[in-house]
Structure 1
């Protein structure tokens, strides 16, 4: 049982949702530039992958996206609230 949990954590699966970081790719321009238009693909991915947001927030490879200048703009535009460290404990 412990091995299954470790494997799921390492593959980025959360409650049957694939948390591959590539789902953030359409959001990268808007994360980097708060004046950039947030694409429908970005918002669709964030909405569909809401359970992954804390996974991405905790992952050193993706956590910086949520600290970039456009993160609040992406969150507001997509209507998807980004976590704060306490909400991802």
Structure 2
């Protein structure tokens, strides 16, 4: 049971990081789902370099970042130093909501 909670927490943390690191764009039709950011969980939780898939998902979900950042459950993870590193490594800027 602890393992499931840890995995869920990591998923939320990774998603929050992604949200914080990008700008909003409403011209693109994107389905906002924080689970789309799951490829970034390892990089956010361990501080390792993000994968290409992680960076792709971050860029894809940019239109959703303000929605994610305004979610109280995700916001604490957005300020994570590792989340900022992942966004920077992927060339994704922080949102201006």
TM-score range, shorter chain: 0.5 to 0.7
Task: Give runs of aligned pairs for residues 1-89 of structure 1, distance below 5 A.
Answer: 16-34=29-47, 36-83=48-95, 87-88=96-97
Aligned pair count reads 71
Instruction: Give the gaps of 5 or more residues in structure 2.
Output: 1-25
Q: How well do the aligned residues superpose, as a CA RMSD in angstroms?
A: 1.8
1:9-60 deviation per Cα after TM superposition (whole angstroms, max 9, x unaligned): xxxxx663111110111112222233x1201111001111211111111112
Q: Comparing both chains, which one has the higher relative contact order based on Cα–Cα distances under 8 Å and sequence gaps of 6 or more?
A: 2
Higher strand share: 1
Which of structure 1's runs of 4+ aligned residues deviate more than 3 A? Answer: none
Contact 1:32 1:70 in 2 (8 A): yes
For 1:57 and 1:29, the matched residues in 2 are separated by 20
Answer with 1 or 2: which has the greater Rg: 1
What TM-score comes out, normalization by structure 1 length? 0.67
What TM-score comes out, normalization by structure 2 length? 0.62
| 1:46–1:71 distance in 2 versus 1, CA, 3 Å | same
